[in-house]
Amino acid sequence: MSVGTRVAPAPTVTPNKAYETSLAQYDRAVSHLDLPAGLIEYMRLPKREYTVNFPVRMDNGDVKMFTGYRVHHNLVLGPSKGGIRYAPHVDLNEVRALAMWMTWKCALVGLPYGGAKGGVICDPKKLSDKENEGLTRRFASELVPIISPHSDIPAPDMGTNSQTMAWIMDTYSMTVGYSVPAVVTGKPINIGGSEGREEATGRGVIIVMEEALKRRGRIDRDEIRIAIQGFGNVGAHAALYASELGYKVVAVTDVSGGAYNPDGLDVEALFNFTRAARNNLLKDYASDDVDIIENDELFGVECDVFIPAALEDQVHEGNADDIKASLVVEGANGPTTPGGDDILRDRGIVVVPDILANAGGVTVSYFEWVQDLQNFFWDEVEIMRQLRRILLKAYDKVVAVAEDKDIDMRMAAQIHAINRVAQATLTRGFYP
Tell me which residues are annotated as active site. 117
Distances, alpha carbon 185 to alpha carbons 100, 107, 238, in Å? 19, 18, 20
Measured CA to CA, the distance from residue 421 to residue 73 in angstroms comes to 12
If you write DSSP's letter for every residue of 244-298 in order, what string do you get? HHT-EEEEEEETTEEEE-TT---HHHHHHHHHHSTT--GGG---TT-EEE-GGGG
Contacts of 362 (CB under 8 A, 6+ apart): 81, 82, 102, 105, 106, 109, 111, 113, 155
> How many Cβ atoms from other residues are within 10 Å of residue 386's Cβ?
16
Measured CA to CA, the distance from residue 299 to residue 307 in angstroms comes to 11
Buried b / exposed e along 239-259 (16+ C-beta atoms within 10 A): bbbbbeeebbbbbbbbebbbb
Measured CA to CA, the distance from residue 145 to residue 157 in angstroms comes to 21
**3-class state of residue 392 by DSSP:** helix
Q: At residue 54, what is the residue type? A: F
**3-class state of residue 53 by DSSP:** strand
Measured CA to CA, the distance from residue 158 to residue 186 in angstroms comes to 13
Contact call for residues 257 and 290 (beta carbons, < 8 A): no
> How many Cβ atoms from other residues are within 10 Å of residue 123's Cβ?
11
Helix (H) or strand (E) holding 346: helix 338-346
Distances, alpha carbon 423 to alpha carbons 40, 43, 202, 225, in Å? 12, 11, 31, 41
Q: Which among 269, 196, 263 is positioned nearest to 236, based on CA atoms?
A: 269
Contacts of 420 (CB under 8 A, 6+ apart): 77, 107, 108
Q: At residue 352, what is the residue type? A: V
| Residue count (the chain) | 432
